[in-house]
Structure 1
Amino acid sequence: MAAVSGTSFAQSSVTIYGRLDVGMNNQKTTLTETVGSLSASAFYKGNNLVNEDGLSTGLLGFKGTEDLGGGLKANFVHEMDLDMDVGALGVAAGRDSTLGLSGGFGEVRLGRSYTPLFSTIGASDVFGTTGAGTVNQYGMANTGVRVSNAFFYTSPSFSGVTVRLMAAQNNAQTDTSVGSAGKTSAQGFSVTYAAGPLMLAVATGTEKGSSVDRFGGLIAETAAAATVAGTAVAAANAKYKGSAISGQYDMGVAKLFAGFTTTKDDNNTTVSGGELTMKETNFGIAVPMGG
């Protein structure tokens, strides 16, 4: 007589990955903002012989999954910046850093990651959001690319349609005399259709409670509107909203990209003169060359 017992072991894996990018470039940027009769300009010239992140962003990352059984998987990812031009680890955080659970319901993640809006904008960018011709979405300083302290949900694909949701709140209040001091919130969602050679996506995102100090001071037509952006009062009343439409079509011999982005920034919704609306239309084509 023999007794046999079986034990089920979860399958897990951890991957270390990265990307290195360094090159030679020269960059000159001039931005001009006009509100009514007032205007201001900001000038920047980057003339280092060697710079980082010319075609892609240098990074070092760790990611892993573990099969929990029953169709459930746990996963994590943590990425860090690598600065090849100075030979340093830029920051140990600031990029994607999430812990999640996936299954038949889709995927839920907690932490810091790309917003649905930025991912949709990037889908229209032939440069992949990094490089000389990359799409730029000004404004929404805190959540224009990634958002922290956030909940993310990605649905399963329903006949090629995928929905992504994001919600975040940071209530680091340090002054109880100011009701909303240090409080920021953000929401966003996107809907993507991908089937065969065609991809279409729409997205929107909103941020409240974090003002942007443009060019060292908010341009305004009234003294009230000139409240320095970043103060508790201005930040509490700040609101930004962005939206995007993106598309791709793979013809085999070439891949077409197109997108339209609009952003509305208001450093203080209680006064006039602080609004800024930005629109961008982009087209691109990628042609495979060789292997």
Structure 2
Amino acid sequence: MAALAVAGVASAQSSVTLFGVVDASISGYSSTSRDMYNGVSYNAFGVPMYNPFYVNQGRVKTSKTGMANSGYNSSRLGFRGTEDLGGGLAASFWLEAPTTNDDGATGVSTFARRSTVSLSGGFGEVRLGRDYTPTFWNDTVFDPFGTNGVGTNLISTANGFNTAGGAGDFGGNLTSTRASNSIGYFLPPNLGGFYGQVMYAFHEKTKYSPGLATPDVADNSRAGRYVGGRFGYANGPLDVALAYGSSTVGDDFYAGVTNKVNTLNLGASYDFGPAKLFGELSQAKLKTDIDGNFIVQPGSVPSTKLNGWLLGVTVPVGAGLIRASYSAVKYKTGHSDDLFFNDQRGNPKANKLALGYVHNLSKRTALYATVARVSNKNGASLSVGNQPYISNSVFTPKNSTGYDFGIRHAF
């Protein structure tokens, strides 16, 4: 019945395309934690205290090896189609489902990657549904690894892409990658290299009048809203884009508290021929706005910032492609550790080095290999492949390493 339904849709369209990617890899991940205590601690006044009897407990490690998917390109299955309405107008749909071909557990049960319907013409395109956010585009377009596999840049990882539960490590931002219930507008492609988009995603929360009738439940009034835009210029070897987005990640109606993650990033690439260079600068700010009856109102608590940068390169070699990137992030909380406002630990930060090679057997099939390593400092806990750390009062996350060896086929 499903096949007949698809055939029925196909007969009503000017064109319908079935497409997909099947990507499988042998992958391994490990995360190491260390006892960072050397016998010296600081009291509330910032005075060092030494314990001569403490014995350092060394390091502990977690590791995992198995088959994974999406190490080079994300595995997917999709349908897209376009109908020519005449007069330069066209109606289109795009339904794209994530698949886990390593175990077959996830297939066309959800179109969570993209599910949109759109109308396009000389004015541009208006798109409705679930789609990538403008701020995520810079993370993936200007990453030599395209935010896939162990090579995914640290900016994306820290902002919540490809992490357990989808919430990520910064602000619980569920719209860091995609937004549901969105309206998007895209500029037409004939603007001499200039391009852009804007997006608004509804939170779809029920509004009560009077306000006191609102149920006293967290995240029931504003959470889920996204607004953002991206504008750039691409001509010849140069591509550069600036994006900004604001995600409402939480709220407490009665306390008058709203939590937002505001993201600003700038990305660029330049193709010299023998090599293509990539770069990105990014800042995400987790801000808590307070409009309730507090000592200072209206106001906000100190925001937490996540600053990041990326440098990358790809080098064509015959039928192959060498890929490399170095990315780093640093958290800034605005809080200090002792009564004299001295930050004894320093702000958490991490860096990542990724190296890879892709060998194209054809236009559709490729073999690939990638290795990557993350180094954490001052309590950061970012990892490769979302591999967990052993973290407690003794052990602090330190390094994480991963690899992918796989094959990708597109159709």
- TM-score normalised by length of structure 2: 0.56
Q: Does structure 1 residue 163 correspond to structure 2 residue 174?
A: no
Contact 2:252 2:258 in 1 (8 A): no
Q: 1:70 to 1:85 in 2, by over 3 A?
A: same
- Render the CA deviation track for 1:125-149: whole Å, top value 9, x for unaligned: 0001112221233136221001010
Q: Does structure 1 residue 82 correspond to structure 2 residue 103?
A: no
1:130 is aligned, of 143, 148, 154, to 148
1:285 is aligned, of 313, 317, 321, to 313
2:275 is aligned, of 254, 263, 266, to 254
| Paired letter, 1:181 | N
Runs of 5+ unmatched residues, structure 2: 1-11, 34-43, 45-59, 160-169, 291-299, 320-411
Does 278-287 or 166-175 show the bigger shift? 166-175
- Render the CA deviation track for 1:197-249: whole Å, top value 9, x for unaligned: 101100000012x23xxxxxxxxxxxxxxxxxx76668951111001110011
Q: 1:171 to 1:287 in 2, by over 3 A?
A: same
Q: Which residue of 1 aligns with 2:26?
A: 24
Q: Which residue of 2 aligns with 1:96?
A: 114
Q: 1:233 to 1:120 in 2, by over 3 A?
A: farther
Aligned-residue offset at 1:276:
2.2
1:110 is aligned, of 122, 128, 148, to 128
Contact 1:71 1:104 in 2 (8 A): yes
Runs of 5+ unmatched residues, structure 1: 1-9, 32-36, 38-42, 212-229
2:83 is aligned, of 61, 66, 70, to 66
Aligned-residue offset at 1:88:
2.4
Contact 2:133 2:228 in 1 (8 A): yes
| Paired letter, 2:182 | A
Q: 1:286 to 1:65 in 2, by over 3 A?
A: same
* Aligned pairs (5 A) from 1:1-80: 12-28=14-30, 45=62, 47-80=64-97
Q: Which residue of 1 aligns with 2:285?
A: 264
Q: 1:109 to 1:28 in 2, by over 3 A?
A: same
d(CA) in 1 for partners of 2:230, 2:207 = 33
Aligned-residue offset at 1:30:
7.5
Contact 1:12 1:65 in 2 (8 A): yes
Q: What SS class does the counterpart of residue 199 from structure 2 fall into? A: strand
Contact 2:275 2:316 in 1 (8 A): yes
**Larger RCO of the pair (alpha carbons < 8 Å, separation 6+):** 2
Q: Which residue of 2 aligns with 1:200?
A: 240
Q: Does structure 1 residue 183 correspond to structure 2 residue 222?
A: yes
| Paired letter, 1:24 | I
d(CA) in 1 for partners of 2:83, 2:62 = 47
Aligned-residue offset at 1:94:
1.4
Aligned-residue offset at 1:55:
1.9
The count of residues paired between Structure 1 and Structure 2 equals 252
Q: What SS class does the counterpart of residue 66 from structure 1 fall into? A: strand
Contact 1:163 1:190 in 2 (8 A): yes
Higher-Rg member (1/2): 2
Q: What SS class does the counterpart of residue 318 from structure 2 fall into? A: coil
| Paired letter, 1:17 | F
Q: 1:234 to 1:49 in 2, by over 3 A?
A: farther
Q: What SS class does the counterpart of residue 183 from structure 1 fall into? A: coil
Q: 1:15 to 1:80 in 2, by over 3 A?
A: same
| Paired letter, 1:269 | D
d(CA) in 1 for partners of 2:316, 2:255 = 49
Q: What SS class does the counterpart of residue 75 from structure 1 fall into? A: strand
d(CA) in 2 for partners of 1:249, 1:45 = 39
Q: Which residue of 1 aligns with 2:265?
A: 244
Q: 1:100 to 1:177 in 2, by over 3 A?
A: same
Q: 1:233 to 1:200 in 2, by over 3 A?
A: farther
| Paired letter, 1:19 | V
Contact 2:264 2:282 in 1 (8 A): yes
